[in-house]
């Protein structure tokens, strides 16, 4: 049983998204006896050491072979198992794009794919391990639900919810060790319905993953400058909560913030929706510019790409003044 | 309860071990003090002493003894 | 015993006839006749003599599972499914037609025994490993998993990832059959990307490996019945691409082809003569 105590919430934050996944994983076999976890040599990294000790027969490590990983999971799913699969987001989405397309998209086999360390959190390892493309890839493949939790508590909730879905799911994990908490206590999480964290009349900031926290901070900065923002956590990227985007059209500016390429991600998804609406405000897309920057630590890279709360606030204020 | 008692209790409760085994305990000496147990310990220490630990200190907390030194930085004297 | 072999030989020829019928029915579009014809005996022996498969209930839990990884050879599987009564002659007439459930590459359809979709080469063995693992975890020790690969397909790296994992997990309920017809899209396999020593490769990847004449149903039948305790098995079936139609045999250009009326009639005559 997972308990959303302040101590557990703090512990998941400290562990970061991978560790939070691992903790949630240990609760999965209680939900569904057909749970299996597969990994490509990232058992420890996925926080699964304890899971492996408790359920040695439910942990399948296929070695450093991600393409095979997806196929093996798909075969198991077809035989009635509920497989969760972990690998770096970059390999999950790009290296295995065709395997994901055929097995999860085309055949709709209910594999739950966990993309570890998406975004810039392991940027010190260089662009091979960063992942700023996965939403774009996954979003273009039919039949896959895409989740992007805002913090470690939401990661736990997403994992538990994904276990109940009998169709393919991709969970994008962002942030790192000692991840800031958006939700400091238990809350109601509803798949497919975005969560409005704060209300304001001037601007709507729609954020996903790690950028929800930074957007809340940015909204606080803006508030001191007299601008009130609504902040929305778009934890489900597909299917997208269209209604909340329509409602956002009441404000003068819509901003999307994501630790993902400015192409093909949350910003693109929101603008695709806005395109069909007659009267709509300007839409500012804040995300990773179209370039691979030099390797660096997480915080440094966020600043390099202009994704710190201060930088986000700056960009929003400038854009708002130009409307 | 004084700080030392409080500090010791966090260890005995987190790792479910008797008090006499706590004194010389180091990270990964026992199964329960793995990376997950470590973060559970930090979360409990933070709550017990109402502090927020820095990342470097969280990593440095490698033993029962070392933890005392680290907490001193947060004006928590373990005696 | 002789009866079973006779039945398999007969079925292989029926399969060939239907492959030609299907190919001809696609008109100028054509179909993958060469690599389907080479598989006729593999399919006939699997469906008529080896696999546990209830044509009235293709989803039965204790069935053997057949995964056609070289999806372009699917005409041979459709024809075999027709031969055992899962598909009808009318079904086959819809092959490659708009809206038909008989795609040019298999599309997942357990109700007719198509376990998975394929077409993107190199992925079927991983599915086979997952299926075989799943059967073991479920304690279904009676079902086996058969994965049919092409030799050209073995250019794909994922095949070897999957092969390693099959022996690592000691999948003695998994049998790989390779339709080694020595030709791929651009030419002879040994000139495009040499696979040799092929048998040794599979052996070294932990498979009990046998090479047999892939058009000899008795040899195939014996190979399938070989004991492979605690390890997966690989049967390398030495075949001829386009087998059974003289002008197609060993010709790269018949990988994907359209048949003229004369060619169609000649092919039917040649195969029919063997019936």
| Spatial separation of the C-alpha atoms in residues A322 and B19, rounded to whole Å | 64
Q: Are A227 and A234 in contact (CB under 8 A)?
A: no
B57 reaches A (C-beta below 8 A): no
Residue B78 lies in a domain: no
Q: How many angstroms separate the CA of residue B24 from the nearest CA in chain A?
A: 24
* Domain count along chain A: 2
Give the pair of three-digit tokens for residue C206. Answer: 């932990």
Chain A residues with beta carbon closer than 8 angstroms to that of B55: 177-178
Residue B79 lies in a domain: no
Give the CA distances from residue B58 to residues A114, A152, A159, A209, in Å, rounded to whole numbers and listed in that order. Answer: 27, 18, 26, 24
| Spatial separation of the C-alpha atoms in residues C150 and C125, rounded to whole Å | 11
Asked whether the beta carbons of residue B36 and residue A10 sit closer than 8 angstroms, the reply is: no
Average pLDDT over residues B11-35: 93
Q: For A127-241, where are the alpha helices, taking DSSP H only?
A: 134-139, 152-162, 211-224
* Residue A239 belongs to domain with CATH number: 3.40.50.920
Chains A, C in contact: 3+ Cβ pairs under 8 A?
A: yes
Q: CATH topology for C2-274?
A: Rossmann fold (3.40.50)
Q: For B1-79, where are the alpha helices, taking DSSP H only?
A: 3-15, 19-22, 35-49, 55-60, 64-73
Q: Which of B34, B43, B47 sits opposite A14 (nearest CB)?
A: B43
Identify which of A127, A210, A124, A223 has the alpha carbon closest to the alpha carbon of residue A173: A210
Q: Which of A157, A172, A187 is the last residue of a domain?
A: A172
pLDDT digits (tens, 9 = 90+) for A243-297: 999 999 999 999 999 999 999 999 999 999 999 999 999 999 999 999 999 999 9
| Spatial separation of the C-alpha atoms in residues B32 and B17, rounded to whole Å | 9
The mean pLDDT value of chain B amounts to 93
Question: pLDDT tens track of chain A, all 323 residues?
Answer: 899 999 999 999 999 999 999 999 999 999 999 999 999 999 999 999 999 999 999 999 999 999 999 999 999 999 999 999 999 999 999 999 999 999 999 999 999 999 999 999 999 999 999 999 999 999 999 999 999 999 999 999 999 999 999 999 999 999 998 999 999 999 999 999 999 999 999 999 999 999 999 999 999 999 999 999 999 999 999 999 999 999 999 999 999 999 999 999 999 999 999 999 999 999 999 999 999 999 999 999 999 999 999 999 999 999 999 98
Report the DSSP pairing between strands C208-213 and C233-238. parallel
pLDDT digits (tens, 9 = 90+) for A4-22: 999 999 999 999 999 999 9
Bin C210: left if φ > 0, else alpha if -120 < ψ < 50, else beta. Answer: beta
The chain B residue lying nearest A53, using CA atoms, is B31
Q: At what angle do helices C2-25 and C217-224 cross, to 10 degrees?
A: 110
| Spatial separation of the C-alpha atoms in residues A299 and B44, rounded to whole Å | 27
- Residue-number span of the structural domain to which B26 is assigned: 3-73
Count of CB contacts below 8 A, A vs B? 39
Asked whether the beta carbons of residue B55 and residue A177 sit closer than 8 angstroms, the reply is: yes
Do both A252 and A306 map to the same domain? yes
| Spatial separation of the C-alpha atoms in residues A309 and A319, rounded to whole Å | 15
DSSP codes joined into one string, A203-235? EEEEE-TTHHHHHHHHHHHHHHTT--EEEEE--
Q: Which residues pair with A205 in a beta bridge?
A: A231, A255
Signed CA dihedral, A113, A114, A117, A119: sign only: positive
Tell me which residue has tokens 């006939």: C44
Beta strands in chain A (DSSP E): 35-39, 59-61, 82-88, 112-116, 145-147, 169-172, 195-198, 203-207, 229-233, 236-238, 253-261, 282-288
| Spatial separation of the C-alpha atoms in residues C71 and C90, rounded to whole Å | 21
C44 reaches A (C-beta below 8 A): no
Count of CB contacts below 8 A, A vs C? 96
Q: Which of B31, B35, B47 sits opposite A7 (nearest CB)?
A: B47
Question: Which element (helix H / strand E) includes C215?
Answer: none
Residue B56 lies in a domain: yes
Do both A152 and A214 map to the same domain? no
Residue A178 lies in a domain: no
| Spatial separation of the C-alpha atoms in residues C154 and C234, rounded to whole Å | 13
* Residue B17 belongs to domain with CATH number: 1.10.1200.10
Tell me which residue has tokens 């490698």: B62
Distance of CA A114 to the CA centre of its chain: 10
Residue B29 lies in a domain: yes
Do both A34 and A154 map to the same domain? yes
Q: What phi, psi does C180 have (nearest 5°)?
A: -90, 85
Q: Give C29's contacts (C-beta < 8 A, 6+ positions apart).
A: C96, C258
Instruction: Report, in angstroms and rounded to the nearest whole number, the Rg of chain A calculated over CA atoms.
Output: 19
Predicted TM-score of the model (pTM): 0.96
Length of chain B measured in residues: 79
Three-state DSSP class for residue C145: strand
Do both A94 and A220 map to the same domain? no
| Spatial separation of the C-alpha atoms in residues A122 and A116, rounded to whole Å | 10
| Spatial separation of the C-alpha atoms in residues A235 and A237, rounded to whole Å | 6
Confidence of residue B24 (pLDDT cuts 50, 70, 90): very high
pLDDT at position A318, please?
98
Instruction: Report, in angstroms and rounded to the nearest whole number, the Rg of chain B calculated over CA atoms.
Output: 11
Q: Are A279 and A249 in contact (CB under 8 A)?
A: yes
Q: How many angstroms separate the CA of residue A26 from the nearest CA in chain C?
A: 19
ipTM of the complex, rounded to two decimals: 0.96
Q: Are C241 and C181 in contact (CB under 8 A)?
A: yes
Do both A207 and A115 map to the same domain? no
* Domain count along chain B: 1
Give the CA distances from residue C13 to residues A210, C6, C146, in Å, rounded to whole numbers and listed in that order. Answer: 62, 11, 22
* Residue A132 belongs to domain with CATH number: 3.40.50.970
Do both A83 and A207 map to the same domain? no
B59 reaches A (C-beta below 8 A): no
Three-state DSSP class for residue A134: helix
Chain C residues with beta carbon closer than 8 angstroms to that of A72: 126-127, 129-130, 133, 162, 165
| Spatial separation of the C-alpha atoms in residues C49 and C218, rounded to whole Å | 10
CA angle A71, C108, A114 (to 5 degrees): 35
Identify which of C78, C113, C107 has the alpha carbon closest to the alpha carbon of residue C95: C78
Chain C residues with beta carbon closer than 8 angstroms to that of A57: 137
Do both A217 and A109 map to the same domain? no
- Residue-number span of the structural domain to which A136 is assigned: 6-172
pLDDT digits (tens, 9 = 90+) for C58-116: 999 999 999 999 999 999 999 999 999 999 999 999 999 999 999 999 999 999 999 99
Q: Which of C117, C126, C133 sits opposite A106 (nearest CB)?
A: C117
Identify which of C33, C1, C5 has the alpha carbon closest to the alpha carbon of residue C267: C33
Residue A180 lies in a domain: no
| Spatial separation of the C-alpha atoms in residues A145 and A83, rounded to whole Å | 15
Chain A residues with beta carbon closer than 8 angstroms to that of C133: 60, 72, 75-76
Length of chain C measured in residues: 275
Question: pLDDT tens track of chain C, all 275 residues?
Answer: 789 999 999 999 999 999 999 999 999 999 999 999 999 999 999 999 999 999 999 999 999 999 999 999 999 999 999 999 999 999 999 999 999 999 999 999 999 999 999 999 999 999 999 999 999 999 999 999 999 999 999 999 999 999 999 999 999 999 999 999 999 999 999 999 999 999 999 999 999 999 999 999 999 999 999 999 899 999 999 999 999 999 999 999 989 999 999 999 999 999 987 77
Q: Give the end-to-end CA distance of chain A in Å, rounded to a whole number.
A: 50
Question: Which element (helix H / strand E) includes A51?
Answer: helix A49-54
Q: Give A84's contacts (C-beta < 8 A, 6+ positions apart).
A: A25, A28, A35, A36, A37, A38, A112, A114, A159, A162, A163
């Amino acid at each position: 049983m997972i308990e959303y105590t302040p101590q557990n919430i703090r512990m998941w934050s400290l562990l970061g998204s991978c560790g939070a996944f691992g903790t949630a994983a240990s609760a999965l076999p209680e939900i569904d006896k057909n749970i299996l976890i597969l990994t490509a040599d990232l058992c420890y990294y996925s926080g699964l050491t304890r899971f492996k000790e408790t359920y040695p027969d439910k942990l399948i490590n296929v070695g450093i072979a991600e393409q095979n990983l997806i196929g093996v999971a798909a075969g198991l799913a077809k035989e009635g198992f509920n497989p969760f699969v972990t690998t770096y987001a970059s390999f999950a989405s790009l290296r295995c794009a065709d395997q994901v397309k055929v097995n999860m998209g085309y055949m709709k086999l209910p594999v739950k794919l966990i993309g570890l360390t998406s975004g810039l959190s392991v940027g010190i390892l260089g662009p091979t391990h960063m992942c700023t493309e996965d939403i774009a890839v996954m979003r273009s493949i039919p039949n896959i639900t895409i989740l992007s939790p805002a913090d470690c508590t939401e990661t736990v909730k997403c994992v538990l919810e994904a276990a109940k879905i009998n169709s393919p799911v991709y969970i994008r994990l962002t942030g790192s060790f000692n991840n800031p908490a958006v939700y400091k206590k238990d809350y109601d999480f509803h798949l497919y319905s975005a969560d409005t964290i704060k209300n304001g009349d001037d601007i709507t900031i729609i954020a996903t993953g790690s950028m929800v926290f930074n957007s809340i901070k940015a909204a606080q900065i803006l508030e001191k400058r007299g601008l009130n923002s609504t902040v929305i956590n778009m934890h489900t990227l597909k299917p997208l909560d269209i209604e909340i985007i329509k409602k956002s059209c009441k404000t003068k500016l819509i901003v999307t913030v994501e630790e993902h390429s400015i192409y093909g991600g949350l910003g693109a998804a929101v603008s695709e929706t806005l395109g069909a609406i007659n009267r709509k405000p300007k839409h500012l897309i804040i995300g990773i510019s179209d370039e691979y920057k030099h390797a660096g630590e997480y915080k440094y890279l966020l600043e390099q790409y202009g994704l710190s709360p201060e930088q986000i606030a700056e960009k929003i204020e400038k854009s708002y003044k130009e409307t | 309860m004084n700080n030392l008692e409080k500090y010791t209790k966090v260890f005995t409760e987190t790792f479910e071990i008797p008090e006499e085994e706590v004194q010389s305990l180091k990270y990964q000496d026992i199964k329960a003090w793995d990376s997950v147990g470590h973060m559970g310990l930090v979360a409990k220490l933070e709550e017990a002493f109402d502090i927020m630990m820095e990342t470097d200190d969280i990593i440095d907390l490698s033993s029962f003894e070392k933890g005392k030194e680290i907490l001193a930085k947060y004006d928590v004297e373990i005696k | 015993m002789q009866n079973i072999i006779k039945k398999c030989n007969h079925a292989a020829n029926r399969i060939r006839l239907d492959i030609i019928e299907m190919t001809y029915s696609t008109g100028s579009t054509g179909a993958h006749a060469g690599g389907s014809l080479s598989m006729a005996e593999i399919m006939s022996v699997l469906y008529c003599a080896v696999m546990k498969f209830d044509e009235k209930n293709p989803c039965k839990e204790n069935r053997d599972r057949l995964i056609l990884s070289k999806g372009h050879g699917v005409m041979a599987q459709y024809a075999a499914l027709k031969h055992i009564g899962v598909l009808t002659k009318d079904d086959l007439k819809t092959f490659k037609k708009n809206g038909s459930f008989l795609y040019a590459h298999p599309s997942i359809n357990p109700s007719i025994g198509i376990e998975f979709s394929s077409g993107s080469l190199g992925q079927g063995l991983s599915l086979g490993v997952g299926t075989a693992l799943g059967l073991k975890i479920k304690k279904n020790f009676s079902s086996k998993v058969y994965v049919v690969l092409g030799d050209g397909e073995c250019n794909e790296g994922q095949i070897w990832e999957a092969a390693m994992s099959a022996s690592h997990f000691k999948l003695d309920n998994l049998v790989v059959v390779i339709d080694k017809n020595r030709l791929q899209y651009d030419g002879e396999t040994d000139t495009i990307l040499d696979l040799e020593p092929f048998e040794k490769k599979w052996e070294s990847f932990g498979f009990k490996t046998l090479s047999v004449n892939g058009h000899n149903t008795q040899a195939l039948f014996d190979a399938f019945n070989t004991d492979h305790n605690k390890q997966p098995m690989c049967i390398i079936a030495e075949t001829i691409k386009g087998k059974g139609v003289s002008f197609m045999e060993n010709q790269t250009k018949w990988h994907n082809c359209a048949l003229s009326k004369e060619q169609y009639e000649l092919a039917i005559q040649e195969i029919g003569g063997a019936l």
